[in-house]
Amino acid sequence: MSVSKFQPRLLTLALAFAGVLFVAPLLWMLATSFKPEDQAASASLRLLPDPASSTFSQAQDNYTQVWNDPAIRFPLYFRNTLVVAVLGVVGMTLSSAVVAYGLSRIRWRGQSAVFATILFTMMIPFPVIMVPLYLVFRELGWIGTLKPLWVPSWFGGAFSIFLLRQFFLGIPKELDEAARVDGMNHWSIFWRIIVPLSRPALAVVALFHFIAIWNDFLAPMLFLTKPEQFTLALGLQMYQSKAGLTPWNLLMAASTLVALPVLLLFALTQRTLIRGISGEGLKE
């Protein structure tokens, strides 16, 4: 048997091994959230609590305790994070799409320089600009509010603009010309032609930004000052250091609740995500 016939099998085996490496921490986190505190802190590799028949009741106790624990105020932090994520996703998707349309479907002087500048900003890490941002938001009176976490999203993002621009360039420009013959302007072309054809790419932008906001820890720690404004990332860190102790079973239950919305969202939009990244949606 030739070597080429073994390559697909080797690739499948390597991908399966990599998949196990990525899934193992999530599986261990979920298993630990089902255990009582003494078993969660032990060195045993058992996935289920001992006895296994107590798995459901112990999991129910752990998750109920986490949800109702006043130290983390999970429902409040969940609401704060959801508000920031929804507003940020809407702003990032709309603003980036408008900018990407101007960079891909309209020709104007300085277009290449502006696009290069946008790409250059991708190389600037957040810690470099967080002090100037803090000073700006302090002058606006936004420190101690949720506005610094979602308002900047309404000015677009470099990666989102780049992704949408490349997707828009794959849409035949003959559609624009036909629309202009019918009397449509750029705004109508954008909403009635480009946006419907770009739903997979827009879904990718929305999903990536949702995950970024949901997991963000540095920005909320920098701009939020009151516990009732905290997001889940801050609440989880505060819960971990509560009273100087770490109840690992409850901490893993809280971590599972924090990660669950992202995992569910990714599972529901997996096919759309692949279509948006590969540009497959244009072929249908």
User: What is the pTM (predicted TM-score) of this model?
Assistant: 0.85
Q: Which fold has domain 74-283?
A: MetI-like fold (1.10.3720)
Q: So what's the pLDDT on residue 224?
A: 93
Q: So what's the pLDDT on residue 76?
A: 92
Cα 146 from Cα 229, distance rounded (Å): 7
Helix and strand numbers (H, E) in the chain are 16, 0
Among positive and negative, which fits the CA dihedral 27, 33, 38, 39? Answer: negative
Cα 31 from Cα 55, distance rounded (Å): 9
- Which pLDDT tens digit goes with each residue over 206-245? 999 999 999 999 999 999 998 889 999 998 888 877 645 6
Indicate the SS3 state at residue 267: helix
Per-domain residue ranges of the chain: 74-283
Q: So what's the pLDDT on residue 149?
A: 95
3-state SS of the chain: helix, strand, coil percent to 5? Answer: 80, 0, 20
54: pLDDT confidence band, cut at 50, 70 and 90? low
Q: Which residue has the tokens 């752990």?
A: 62
